[in-house]
Chains A and B, each alone.
Chain A
Amino acid sequence: MDRLCDNIVEEILCRLPAKYLHRVRATARRYNLIILSPEFGARYWESHAPYLSGVFLQSNRPWGQHSRFLAGPSDRPSTATRSVFASDLAFLPRLPAGPPARDGEIFIMHAAAGLLLCSRGEYKAVQYYVCNPVSWQWVALPELPRPPTHLSGLLSVTNNRDGSSIKCFQVALFNHPSGWNQNNGCLDLKVFSSATGRWAAKSIRSPTIDVVTHAPPFLGQSGTAYWIGYSPMDKLIAYNSLNHTIQVLPLPSRVRDTTALNRCVGERQGGGLRYAHFDFSMFQVWDLQFGGVNGVWWKLVHQVGVMELAERNPEATALVTKPEYVEWRVNANSPGSSLFSVLGVHPTADIIFLDVNGNVGAYSIEHGTIRYQCPNQYFRSDVFPYVHPAHPVEIPAITKAPLELNRS
């Protein structure tokens, strides 16, 4: 191995996640120098960073959970990135082999700043992990004494003063807005901060929201959760877990909104909210702008007719036998029978992820074409936008909480 020139050694090291790079550093001085050199660092991130922005798609299926990473523009990352990026999270500890119970599997709850928040088990999870799938580092949060009733969690990070590394992270588990304004209901939180190393419970009275919604939230990387309203349909509830504020934002209205479905919202990298929906015969994409009379307004950034979308992508309509059925299926009202449904928004590229007749496709706004990603025959799919920055991201150490006094 010592015979190989530095260039080839760097090429080999580009295929290792940071965890094993540190181990190679400890073998001999030469490799320590190579790995610490800025040229290698630049080469490493240059080869990986373009593929590391996209969404994690997590699907529920009765026989086990399944998550994959969709990068959108390049659905075939280089072999080097495939060696490094563990999108299947196989490096997290698994329970010993047994019948695959959903309680033992790892579920993704949120992604922010290149890190993922995962829970062991989908419901009633007491064990949570924060991990980095590029460096393969993970930390386990202290176990909760009781399974919480909350199903959603948000991860948010605070950067150091110079912005280059993470000072501390915070995990907030919260309940659904349907429970906020009920009798004696409020926003129940369980918050963990790496600075304190402890879970804390909080209850916040939420302002009266006249919006009914049952949908699961769309989670943004800024630590904000968005629920699209069901009745009235043109409202969006936004909860920010960093400063615990609740806001109600307006949404673009729809011409024929007999159902409140087939819509999605997503945060873009660097701020900015994007909303996409199918509105009878049109597919529209809107961006949130600040200013104007009410402080916020939506700008239409893209619009295409649904029939045109079907024409450009003939494979999608291949299964529909008669041409007159195409329009019917494209505009079908119930979920599942509609030919196109919108899944999520790509954080960096101008791509919207659609479910096209049982398969996930990435729709490029610029080109107007859909690129196939993977099959999606599941009951429900959650989309987590994920972007790993072009530099190492280390999970800050969790402060050890002082030991409780033993009561004898």
Chain B
Amino acid sequence: MDSTADPKGKRPLYQEDGLAYARAAAAAASATAAAAPDEEEAKPKPKPSSSSEEAKPEPEAEDQAEMPPLVLVAEDGVEVSISRRAARMSHMLRLLMEDSCADGPIPAPNVHSDILDLVVQYCEKHGPYYDPEASERARNPFPPFPVELTPTVSSIKPVTYVDPDPHGLKDWDKDFISLDNSTLFEVILAANYLNIEDLLDLGTTTVADMMRGKKPEEIREIFEIENDYTPEQEAELRKENAWAFED
């Protein structure tokens, strides 16, 4: 839409350029095209079509030449590619892209390739709608007067109800995050390493939701925590804040 798109991914938000999409960049990424299909077969879960397209380099809508997708290397050596647009969601990858260090393979130690796939899946889904400036705007919502009322700049919302979830991402997130505990923790660790704020937020909130309303025994059972209290110490703790243990 706006041809003077800021390379750092600032507004306006990414727009698909139909023509650019049709052009398949021949550059690089043929190596990733070879590696990616292997791990795609190894994966048990079906993936949405957007990530299977990662075998081909994903064309970018920036006015610079199409950038090939980034290549992340998991701990078991499998390479996973992630489009530049989706990689913006990771603060670490964003910094690498800005410093132009992102052309070669990027190591992601301690992250298994299955988990990396899940993380990339999340980023690809949220990537097109991700606005790095959104949290900054929320923190300072009153622009000084006078204000240029272009739609993306104005935080004077219309005096009618605005749908907080226009792209239907909440339901997708709920399905995405319904994983077993160990996978969930691995995803959280990976999001922490790659510094993906939204995914970390989603993961930790899900864990907190699982804890809420449960008794300590139930929490221990769900999260496989070992109880290293003596019965007297535990009774002492319960007495100290008795109100917290009532229902």
| Assembly CA distance A73 to B243 (angstroms) | 33
Contact of A372 among B145, B157, B213, B241 (CB under 8 A): B157
Binds B, one of A234-242, A294-302, A357-365: A357-365
| Assembly CA distance A8 to B200 (angstroms) | 9
Q: Does A269 contact B (CB under 8 A)?
A: no
Inter-chain contacts of A1 with B (CB < 8 A): 181, 185, 223-225
| Assembly CA distance A313 to B218 (angstroms) | 52
Q: Does B226 contact A (CB under 8 A)?
A: yes
Contact of A83 among B205, B220, B226 (CB under 8 A): B205
Are the C-beta atoms of B211 and A24 separated by less than 8 Å? yes
Q: Does A23 contact B (CB under 8 A)?
A: yes
| Assembly CA distance A76 to B241 (angstroms) | 32
Are the C-beta atoms of A4 and B188 separated by less than 8 Å? yes
Number of interface residues of B (CB under 8 A): 50
Most interface-central of B162, B204, B223 (chain A CB within 10 A): B204
Are the C-beta atoms of A372 and B204 separated by less than 8 Å? no
| Assembly CA distance A11 to B200 (angstroms) | 9
Inter-chain contacts of B167 with A (CB < 8 A): none
**C-beta contact mask, B120-152 vs A, less than 8 Å → 1, else 0?**
000000000000000000110111110100000
Q: Closest CB-CB distance, A343 to chain B, in whole Å?
A: 14
Q: Closest CB-CB distance, A1 to chain B, in whole Å?
A: 4
Contact of A24 among B143, B147, B158, B216 (CB under 8 A): B216
**C-beta contact mask, A357-386 vs B, less than 8 Å → 1, else 0?**
101010010111111100100000000000
Inter-chain contacts of B229 with A (CB < 8 A): 26, 28-29
Inter-chain contacts of B208 with A (CB < 8 A): 12-13, 15-16, 83
| Assembly CA distance A318 to B159 (angstroms) | 9
| Assembly CA distance A237 to B159 (angstroms) | 35
Q: Does B189 contact A (CB under 8 A)?
A: yes
| Assembly CA distance A79 to B208 (angstroms) | 11
Q: Does A152 contact B (CB under 8 A)?
A: no
Q: Closest CB-CB distance, A363 to chain B, in whole Å?
A: 10
Chain A contacts with B in 1-15, Cβ cutoff 8 A: 1-5, 7-8, 11-15
With contact pairs A1-B185, A8-B192, A316-B159 given, residues A20 and B142 touching in the complex (Cβ less than 8 Å): no
Chain B contacts with A in 203-238, Cβ cutoff 8 A: 204-205, 207-209, 211-216, 219-220, 223-229, 234, 237-238
Q: Does A321 contact B (CB under 8 A)?
A: no
Smallest CB-CB separation from A361: which chain B residue? B159
Are the C-beta atoms of B204 and A364 separated by less than 8 Å? no
Inter-chain contacts of A359 with B (CB < 8 A): 159-160
Inter-chain contacts of B172 with A (CB < 8 A): none
| Assembly CA distance A8 to B192 (angstroms) | 8
A-B contact pairs, 12 of them (CB 8 A): A4-B189, A11-B204, A23-B244, A24-B219, A27-B227, A32-B237, A74-B141, A315-B156, A315-B157, A315-B159, A316-B159, A369-B145
Extra inter-chain contacts (19) besides given A18-B244, A74-B141, A315-B156, CB under 8 Å: A4-B188, A12-B204, A12-B207, A12-B211, A15-B208, A19-B244, A20-B213, A20-B214, A21-B244, A22-B241, A23-B214, A25-B237, A26-B216, A27-B225, A27-B227, A76-B138, A367-B145, A369-B147, A371-B141
Residues of chain A whose beta carbon lies under 8 Å from any beta carbon of chain B: 1-5, 7-8, 11-29, 31-32, 73-76, 79-80, 83, 137, 139, 312-313, 315-316, 318, 356-357, 359, 361, 364, 366-372, 375
Residues of chain B whose beta carbon lies under 8 Å from any beta carbon of chain A: 138-139, 141-145, 147, 155-162, 181, 185, 188-189, 192, 200-201, 204-205, 207-209, 211-216, 219-220, 223-229, 234, 237-238, 241, 243-245
